[in-house]
């Protein structure tokens, strides 16, 4: 009975680990039709074409968000985004990861990124 409990706990931990690592490997990029530009020193992302069916608006980005949007023009994972942010800005990995998770969640909610 004790051995079975240990096996079940080990399986539970393995499934949780796989779930966490798969999230970090999830690849995403900006949806086709989301364009970025800098106008008068301000960074924007705008939905065009078919992308306006799921998001109809303009996003004003700060420099960090604009950098992330540029990265998302090519497929990225959470880890790759975190690594780039840590390299470019004076921020620790955990803070970068928390901020990236928050941004990714918002971008998914607004259907601005796709896998």
User: Domain containing 38 — which CATH number?
Assistant: 1.10.10
Burial of 114 (0-12, 13-18, 19+ CB in 10 A): middle
Check residue 105 and give its pLDDT. Answer: 92
Number of structural domains the chain divides into: 1
The answer, yes or no, to whether residue 35 has pLDDT greater than 90, is yes
Lowest mean pLDDT among 3-17, 48-62, 101-115: 3-17
Secondary structure class of 44 (helix, strand, coil): strand
pLDDT at residue 63, as a whole number: 94
The average pLDDT across 21-26 equals: 58
Please give the average per-residue pLDDT across 69-76, as a whole number.
97
Residue 37 is part of which domain span? 2-114
Global pTM reads 0.76
């Amino acid at each position: 009975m004790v051995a079975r409990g240990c096996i079940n706990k080990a399986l539970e931990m393995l499934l949780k680990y796989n779930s966490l690592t798969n999230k970090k490997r999830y690849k995403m990029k900006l949806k086709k039709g989301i364009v970025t530009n800098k106008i008068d020193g301000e960074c924007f992302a705008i939905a065009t074409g078919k992308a306006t069916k799921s998001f109809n608006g303009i996003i004003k980005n700060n420099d960090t968000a604009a950098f992330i949007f540029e990265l998302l023009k090519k497929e990225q994972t959470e880890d790759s985004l975190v690594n780039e942010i840590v390299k470019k800005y004076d921020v620790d990995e955990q803070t970068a990861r928390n901020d990236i998770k928050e941004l990714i969640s918002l971008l998914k909610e607004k259907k601005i990124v796709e896998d």
